[in-house]
Structure 1
Amino acid sequence: MEKVVYEWFLQYQDRVNMSGELILQKAKDTMKILYPQQESEHQFSQGWLEKFKLRHGIKSFRRFGESGSVDVQDMEKKLEAIREKIDKFPMKDVFNMDETGLFYRLQADHSLATKQLEGKKQDKERLTVVICCNEDGSEKIPLWIIGKYAKPRCFKNVNMSSLNCHYRANKRAWMTSVIFEEYIRWFDSRMHGRRVLFVVDNCPAHPKNIEGLQNVELFFLPPNMTSKIQPCDAGIIRAFKMHYRRRFYRQVLEGYELGQSDPSKINVLEAINFAVSAWTINVHQDTIANCFRHCKIRSGDVLPRNLEDESVDIRELEVVINNLGYRNRMDVNSLLSYPGENDSCSEVQSLEEIVSTVLNGEDEVEDDEERHVEVVTRKEAIVASRTLHNFWLHVENTPPEIVDAIRKIRDELQRESTFQKRQTTLESYFTKLP
């Protein structure tokens, strides 16, 4: 119940005249929704209210219409105020975070977007991906990914800490105020011993009154300027999506070549792996730094003369899409700016919707439509590593770092195998003792 009331508070604090009486009433309304069969109305005391405020760091209520930032009418003056703020921090300590929707099974075919074609329709299963990086591109923060299902079947027996990302879930797979606050506190702990500026837009799911941050100063961009001056919107998200799509369509093409009936039906785990690889491997430091400079949010910023050439990656994406033989193929720009995909922040929800979102996030819900992937045994992994090693040894002009990486994988597999055998031997020895 308290999670629902707090989520409601975060969404509505800047939109209504917030008061203790209103919070108490919403607590009562929440109990009615959660327990509709209960005849008597649950009562909440002032003592409960004070403890609620204490638990969530609520020290005062801002009246509706009051602003937490200077109201400057002229856009150029607003930009100067932004520069003045950012100039106080070195580039390595200025971060921008933004969310983007991701239709992770999207087909590059206009026909599927408008009508059924041979029994198929456009798949708009979505994730929200939270992207964050600093101004000079030296730090790419691990992705947070938000899905619809708390525990998809494909997560079974998966070591989630090995994915190099964080996963959360709610009914819409959108950013919410609760997830945003959790993210900020997690980010604050990562910045231990530093003082950094966290630049973010004015999405309804981004509450402003997060108390107790030790290392992070939140800085909210003016809502009417976000599309022009937010670095993640200036090409960073586009680069991420291009590399995600490239990886996705390569696997789809590979699946058809291997005789799979519908290789585009990837599950959430596969989508997460594509997303993490695209972000950590393919989005380069120069791309990020150029996008920050392009926005001119620091004094002296000029448009970069030599933008990173992404034409090779785009050509590869186009070639793969052409090879898939779509009847009404999308061009790359349409594919990277698909209508509705970028909706990622929740609008203000009704109390009933908040209850549903909170309850859904706690349920163990499985996606029945996703493709099942067999768990690979250690023995199978060892055989596969040998096969890969032999393959690359016989490919002309193989980069040495590829073979070195496979050797490291084989060494780790052998180390694990040796440890397991040693454990088995010791256990067998001790069981034989009288």
Structure 2
Amino acid sequence: MAGDSLSESIICEKARAINADLLKDKPSTSDSGETFRASKGWFHNFKARTGIHSVVRHGEAASADKSAAENYIHHFETITQRNGFCSHQAVNRDETGLFWKKMPRRTLITQEEKKMLGHKPMKDRLTLLLYASGSGDLKIKPLLVYHSETPRVFRKHTVMKNRLGVMWRSKAKAWVTRVLFLEWIREVFCPTVKKYLEDKGLPLKDLLIMDNAPAHPRDLEEELAEEFPWLIVEFPPPNTTHLLQPMDQQVIANFRKLYTKELFQKCFQMVSDTDLTLTEFWKKHYNILSCVGLIGKSWANVSLRTLRSAWEKVWPKIIEERDFEGFVEDPEPATDHVVDDIVTIAQSIGLQVGSGDVDELVEEHSEELSTEVLQQLLAEQQKMAAEELSEEEGEDQQSVQQMSSSEIKDILKNWTELQTFVEKTYPDREKANCCINLLNDNVMSYCRTVLKKRQKQITLDQFLFPKRLRPCEPEAGPSGLQPLPRRERTPEGQSPDVLKEGDSPSKQ
């Protein structure tokens, strides 16, 4: 996510470490001598399965390139002067993970959950893409990527996703992909920026600064040249994100604190205004729809001062521009008042939370996930997806469930032929495998599951009365003899003849 390139050896080493984590608690089965080696063949198949062209390492601060950062500042100044950009015409973006249902570790809710049998941490994760201008007065609707397309609460309340305060999109791993990013650029970013500049009476041109994450195509400017020729895209050097990128200069951290404050404020309001206990509200009434509302409030509450000061490292002369335009900055607060507000609200509802607990929670959103946490997240997401799929099957009368088994088999056969054709003919094999895996995981797997479930099921009639062969289609038994023809059904209203003692078979 930081845009720092990884080598094959580092990826393979990480794969071996994950494999060791998965096996450490299992009984030893090494008698066969087979071990996971993360060979070149495995690496090739891994890239083919995921469609990855380049992979990035999290946490580039340790390897930040200060020399490259200093050189880029001069380059950036040259670009802004040559094109005549002002602070209104420069925009930066950054993405952040958010565990939207996670409390500090010492809260009552967290401690109570740990005591429950079969405890699983409440760590539901989503990804946000946040954008703001150098002037601080333009905040673009965020892109939110979640692992579910239509959560249960959305169907319950008939939510219209296009009216949410975010652009809602879904992905199994809740990651921002190239496809989702380009969709957001075309549908939200460019139209919003164009209207903003027109309203300000400024020339239609804009400078977009992005990091080198895989979802951000290096040829974005060329790809959008026909639709949006006024957009100029800049990529700072690798390993300089934490030194230069504006949104990384406390903007994201401040947003997380504000979200935590809104979350605690919501808890306080529900406990004060209803008969619900804090635990009851948290478990049964706080959902992803509530979270979207809090995200909108938190992003709106990020101050102008925070957004403007974030640009000072990459664009030092922006301060002179503000002085000329009459910007008035608020004085820097002596302490972090947002954290103090969170602690005060938490204590008012009986939670023993200190400023250290809040800081720890904010940092945990960006920590590298352990193998154990990844397994828990995957298990929880699969459970939720299975529940949603079960509900959708009952609600959607035109679904695959209404198709016959033979029709589903034909679809799967045609898909196999198409998959083989694409794999053999499409020149970009990685992109082809990525698309094939996407359809396999999200569409065709459902068809296979329905078919497999039907093959395992047997009705009560089938069990008690096995299907008999029609008289016109006799089959030989194990001995080679033809079975006797089936007796005709007794006409309704007549009593069947019964073979009595002493009667011959011909009287039957």
Give the TM interval when normalised to the shorter protein: 0.5 to 0.7
The higher relative CO (CA closer than 8 Å, separation ≥ 6) is in: 1
Q: Which protein shows a greater Rg?
A: 2
The residue aligned with 2:276 is: 259
5 Å matches for 1:234-273? 234-257=249-272, 258-260=275-277, 261-265=279-283, 266-273=286-293
Structure 1: 5+ residue runs without aligned partners? 1-10, 17-28, 34-70, 344-348, 366-434
The residue aligned with 2:25 is: none
5 Å matches for 1:113-152? 117-119=114-116, 120-152=119-151
| Secondary structure at the counterpart of residue 206 of structure 1 | coil
Give how far 1:235 is off.
1.4
Question: Is 1:77 aligned to 2:97, yes or no?
Answer: no
Q: Deviations over 1:39-97 (max 9, x none)?
A: xxxxxxxxxxxxxxxxxxxxxxxxxxxxxxxx997442222112322344110010001
CA contact (8 A) 1:150 1:362 kept: no
Calculate percent identity across the aligned residue pairs. Answer: 22
CA contact (8 A) 1:128 1:175 kept: yes
Instruction: Give the direction of change, closer, same or farther, for the CA distance of 1:115–1:217 in structure 2 (3 Å limit).
Output: farther
Structure 2: 5+ residue runs without aligned partners? 9-44, 50-64, 199-203, 323-328, 370-429, 447-508
Distance across 2 between alignment mates of 1:352 and 1:115: 45
The residue aligned with 2:240 is: 225
CA contact (8 A) 1:127 1:146 kept: yes
5 Å matches for 1:302-341? 306-307=331-332, 311-326=336-351, 330-338=356-364, 340=366
| Secondary structure at the counterpart of residue 168 of structure 2 | strand
CA contact (8 A) 2:99 2:365 kept: no
CA contact (8 A) 1:86 1:94 kept: no
| Secondary structure at the counterpart of residue 117 of structure 1 | helix
TM-score of the two chains, using structure 2 as the length reference: 0.51
Q: Deviations over 1:260-317 (max 9, x none)?
A: 443234221111110011112x112222112222x24243648989336774332211
| Secondary structure at the counterpart of residue 314 of structure 1 | helix
5 Å matches for 1:9-408? 74-87=68-81, 88-109=84-105, 117-119=114-116, 120-156=119-155, 157-186=158-187, 187-192=189-194, 194-210=204-220, 211-213=223-225, 214=228, 215-257=230-272, 258-260=275-277, 261-265=279-283, 266-280=286-300, 282-293=301-312, 295-299=313-317, 301=319, 306-307=331-332, 311-326=336-351, 330-338=356-364, 340=366, 355-357=436-438
Distance across 2 between alignment mates of 1:199 and 1:240: 19
| Secondary structure at the counterpart of residue 141 of structure 1 | strand
| Secondary structure at the counterpart of residue 203 of structure 1 | coil
Distance across 1 between alignment mates of 2:89 and 2:80: 9
TM-score of the two chains, using structure 1 as the length reference: 0.59
| Secondary structure at the counterpart of residue 318 of structure 1 | helix
Count of aligned residue pairs for this structure pair: 299
Distance across 2 between alignment mates of 1:154 and 1:327: 31
| Secondary structure at the counterpart of residue 364 of structure 2 | coil
The residue aligned with 2:475 is: none
Distance across 2 between alignment mates of 1:353 and 1:262: 42
Instruction: Give the direction of change, closer, same or farther, for the CA distance of 1:331–1:323 in structure 2 (3 Å limit).
Output: same
